[in-house]
Structure 1
Amino acid sequence: MPSQSADAASPVVAPRHALAGLAIFVGLLSRIASLAWLPEAGALTGPALWLGTALLWPDLPRRNRRQAGLLAGIGIGLLLFAAFFYDARVDWADMLDANTQVVAMLVGVSFIGLIGNRRGPSRPTGPPVTGRRGLAGTWLGVHLLGTILNLSTVFMVGDRLARRAPLTTPQLLALNRGLSSAALWSPFFASMGIVITLAPGMDYATVLAHGLPLALCAGLMTLIELPRRFDLTDTAGFSMAPRSLLLPVIMAMLVMGFHFGLTPGLSIVAIITFLMPGAALATNLPRGLHWTAGRLRQHTLIRLPAMRGEISLFLCAGLLTQGLSTLADAATEGGWTLFEQFATGEAIMSFLAIVVSAVAGLHPIIGVSVLASVLDLAPSEQTLFAFVALAAWAVGTSVGPLSGINLSLQGRYGVSGGLMMRENLRYALVMAALVVGMIAWLAG
């Protein structure tokens, strides 16, 4: 009986790992409950995820542990500095909630691994698509599907490529650039949601008309640059064949159905958080409740603790972001504005400053938020500000070692954030030059 074999092959799990997996699972459930029917349950999400991280801390690779500890330490230090020197009000009770929405989404996305047979996804059969064509498939697949599914597309495509062999630098760069460039125009990206909040009078059609050509330039540069720098003869790419696109396309259609029909009030990130595990478990139910419970148990006790790298980096980076945001708000409080007007020169300086800060390790959301807090935008300036913010987000996340995409690649596939920054510097310089030209055109 399938239900009998579902638990038979389950390996022995150390109690500490099992408890950590259960804590992470509780964090996911509390987040889902807060979205659906019990908003108060959201207060449990942060503590549960941090408990899982603390239990798994000894198992982190030394490099990850050192980086995560540094991020958390600096973040707490900045919060203390803001509280004592600027008399800032710090909500210490909510300190553990930073980035928990993104972490909960990552945990939910991991359940995609339950779609398939018990032993996990089968190794791809047939010859892989390689060379420039494979690179194009990877960039285009991540870019198009990422406009809807956001960060989860990187895992869908990246895990599929990783089944053949560990991901190479050009594959990682294609994943990085394919997703980050979608921030230039996608209406479903977190960046767009934040920008609309900061500049509600922006004209999306104008942003789309200027952002989409830049995104195409990002893809074209990737297809020209990487084949010159790397030998792609044996580098597999993502196939755009219907079979390869079936799961991402189905998930994208489900997300759109919920976003526009069933749950229009929820963000894309929130919908992905509950939809991915729900869909994964639903595909197992035809084999029986015992089978499904066995797979859920194995995923909770084995797969979730294996996400310790991703979870710890995102949570600790959230502490840093919270510390920087609190200090910036406290330091800039006073009612003054950075620029009397927001025109071509001011827009270019702002864009470059945010990108440079991303290279230094700050997430672009910090630069965008700080910039918005020190500007008094006229209605006619909001579209220019929106484009500057989105372009800085797109370029900054591609090169910033602590951006969401690079933290994910580091936690999931073990690539160094510093390596991704160095490999993307030339790309970022070219894209920055194109953005500056587009800003001048838009402002003019």
Structure 2
Amino acid sequence: MQETTSRQRLAGVLILLGLMAQVVGFTGWMATIHAVSYLLWAAAFLLWRDIPRRSRIQAGVLIALGASMLLVARFVYGAEVDWPAMLQGNAFVVAMLVGVSFISLIGKQGNKGTAGQRVTGAGGVLRTWLGVHFLGTILNLSTVFMVGDKLARRGPLTSPQLLALNRGLSSAALWSPFFASMGVVLSLAPEVEYTQIALVGFPLAMLSGLLTTLELRRRFDLREVDGFSLAPRSLLMPVGMAALVMLFHFWLTPSLTIVSIITFLLPGVAVLSNLRNGPLFTLRRVRQHTLIRLPAMRGEISLFLAAGLLTLGLSTLVSAAAGTDWTLFAHFGTPEAMISFAAIALSALAGLHPIIGVSVLASVLNLRGGEQTLFAFVALGSWAVGTSVGPLSGINLSLQGRYGVSGYRMMRHNLLYAAVMSALILVAIAFLATWMNA
């Protein structure tokens, strides 16, 4: 078992308590949002020194900017600021991420049996992309390590393998309801029509896989490049979880959002799946997850919480300085959506996580009706492109830490891919805007 300090273990317990408080809040028995935010921020504080330097600087800047804007809004413009609630931004998105992490407890550790016979060539690259994409819709970043480690057993990972891992996961942001990207946009635009997003985003994601296969076949000799052979039974879990989420959303708990359902459903299923081996076994696995896996989420937890504070600070300052009626765009239509997508995607090249651009954009918009769905698609599209090409995105930093590949090298290899995907997303934006106005 990986060694952790008492400080890290305490942080893991606080994160778990934050998740539990969020689930209790869903019942309506008591309001727990203050408790959720305070517990998660306390954990982030305890883990602050363990966060990689670049991520720590980025989160620190966001926190300083958000807090400064709140102070300016209060003492320069006289705005009313709910100080006890200032830490609530993105707290429930972080709780969802914590809940999703428990899915790794389903089945045996290591996910044995997910790989079949050896495959190479363009077909192997495509299978790697498909495996990471569909398993990643539920397992998120852990899928990259699961698949990558299996491929690495036959030798150091090559550029085509790394790019398939990168693009397979990042493209899932276009449609997966279990991704942090979806959690963020549903929190910023609660009236989103997810069905419309999925009907446009899923085909785009499939085009990403086709583009990846064709491009890598043209650029590299793939004859000896190993791929990941996805066994059909490996898809049962993602498909089953998606079906359960839809069951709760439409029939059992229709008053709860998809983000809320995922937050309590995935940990619940994970615990129930382990109980067949006995309560002591289940307790051991939950304890190990709490003390090791949850503190390891320090980077994403701190970034999401910091971005939430920035969003609150910016929106409060803008309202105080320009009035509540001011908005960046009077109407959020096709041109505005395209400009917003381009700005967020380009900011990712400069090293900013897409959540920053998405949060800033949401804070200066006054979205109505179908505009929320269009905004959501812009956010998801820029997230999918930005995390694939951004040198400081979570997936590229993870690939760098695990397999030693430079984030800037990944950026260079992904520039053409990002350009083509951006063009496709711009077309999809125009289509979606026309569809909603029809």
Answering whether residue 168 of structure 2 is matched by residue 175 of structure 1, we say yes
In structure 2, do the counterparts of structure 1 residues 11 and 102 end up closer, same or farther at CA, with 3 Å as the change threshold? same
Normalised by the length of structure 2, the TM-score is 0.77
Answering whether residue 49 of structure 2 is matched by residue 63 of structure 1, we say no
Q: For residue 93 of structure 1, what is the aligned residue in structure 2?
A: 84
Answering whether residue 73 of structure 2 is matched by residue 82 of structure 1, we say yes
For residues 28 and 331 of structure 2, the distance between their equivalents in structure 1, rounded to whole angstroms, comes to: 45
Assess if the C-alpha contact under 8 Å between 1:399 and 1:425 holds in 2: no
Q: CA deviation at 1:111?
A: 1.7
Q: For residue 300 of structure 1, what is the aligned residue in structure 2?
A: 290
Q: CA deviation at 1:161?
A: 0.7
Q: CA deviation at 1:70?
A: 2.6
Assess if the C-alpha contact under 8 Å between 2:134 and 2:235 holds in 1: no
For residues 328 and 308 of structure 2, the distance between their equivalents in structure 1, rounded to whole angstroms, comes to: 26
Please give the residue correspondences for 1:32-181 in structure 2 after superposition, counting only pairs within 5 Å. 32-117=23-108, 120-122=110-112, 126-140=116-130, 152-155=138-141, 157-164=143-150, 165=152, 169-181=162-174
Letter in 2 for 1:326: T
Q: 1:15 aligned to 6, 30, 37, which one?
A: 6
For residues 202 and 288 of structure 2, the distance between their equivalents in structure 1, rounded to whole angstroms, comes to: 43
Q: CA deviation at 1:22?
A: 1.0
Q: For residue 259 of structure 2, what is the aligned residue in structure 1?
A: 269
Q: CA deviation at 1:108?
A: 1.5
Assess if the C-alpha contact under 8 Å between 1:398 and 1:405 holds in 2: no
Question: What residue ranges of structure 1 are gaps of 5+ in the alignment?
Answer: 1-9
Q: CA deviation at 1:31?
A: 1.0
For residues 412 and 38 of structure 1, the distance between their equivalents in structure 2, rounded to whole angstroms, comes to: 39
In structure 2, do the counterparts of structure 1 residues 372 and 230 end up closer, same or farther at CA, with 3 Å as the change threshold? farther
Q: CA deviation at 1:356?
A: 4.3
Assess if the C-alpha contact under 8 Å between 1:53 and 1:308 holds in 2: yes
Q: CA RMSD in A?
A: 4.1
For residues 387 and 40 of structure 1, the distance between their equivalents in structure 2, rounded to whole angstroms, comes to: 29
Assess if the C-alpha contact under 8 Å between 2:248 and 2:254 holds in 1: yes
Q: 2:279 aligned to 289, 304, 317, which one?
A: 289
- Does the residue aligned with 2:254 lie in a helix, a strand or coil? coil
Q: CA deviation at 1:25?
A: 1.0
Assess if the C-alpha contact under 8 Å between 1:401 and 1:420 holds in 2: no
- Does the residue aligned with 1:68 lie in a helix, a strand or coil? helix
For residues 233 and 63 of structure 2, the distance between their equivalents in structure 1, rounded to whole angstroms, comes to: 42
In structure 2, do the counterparts of structure 1 residues 194 and 11 end up closer, same or farther at CA, with 3 Å as the change threshold? closer
String of CA shifts for 1:79-114, please: whole Å, max 9, x gaps. Answer: 333334444333221222222222112212222222
In structure 2, do the counterparts of structure 1 residues 346 and 171 end up closer, same or farther at CA, with 3 Å as the change threshold? closer
Q: For residue 314 of structure 1, what is the aligned residue in structure 2?
A: 304
Letter in 2 for 1:242: P
Answering whether residue 386 of structure 2 is matched by residue 400 of structure 1, we say yes
Assess if the C-alpha contact under 8 Å between 2:391 and 2:397 holds in 1: no
Assess if the C-alpha contact under 8 Å between 2:115 and 2:231 holds in 1: no
String of CA shifts for 1:332-371, please: whole Å, max 9, x gaps. Answer: 4263566677666555445544544565635353355256
Please give the residue correspondences for 1:212-231 in structure 2 after superposition, counting only pairs within 5 Å. 214-229=204-219
String of CA shifts for 1:151-181, please: whole Å, max 9, x gaps. Answer: x442363243134138753134323442133
Question: What residue ranges of structure 2 are gaps of 5+ in the alignment?
Answer: none
Answering whether residue 317 of structure 2 is matched by residue 324 of structure 1, we say no
Q: 1:25 aligned to 16, 25, 32, which one?
A: 16
Q: CA deviation at 1:397?
A: 0.9
Assess if the C-alpha contact under 8 Å between 1:324 and 1:366 holds in 2: no
In structure 2, do the counterparts of structure 1 residues 13 and 252 end up closer, same or farther at CA, with 3 Å as the change threshold? same
Letter in 1 for 2:99: G
- Does the residue aligned with 2:32 lie in a helix, a strand or coil? helix
Letter in 2 for 1:310: E
String of CA shifts for 1:364-395, please: whole Å, max 9, x gaps. Answer: 5335525642x7x7xxxx65x46753442233
- 353-362 vs 88-97, which deviates more? 353-362
Q: Among the aligned pairs, what percent are the same residue? A: 44
For residues 43 and 123 of structure 1, the distance between their equivalents in structure 2, rounded to whole angstroms, comes to: 43
- Does the residue aligned with 1:400 lie in a helix, a strand or coil? helix
String of CA shifts for 1:219-269, please: whole Å, max 9, x gaps. Answer: 433332344445655665554432221221222222222222211222222
For residues 405 and 41 of structure 1, the distance between their equivalents in structure 2, rounded to whole angstroms, comes to: 37
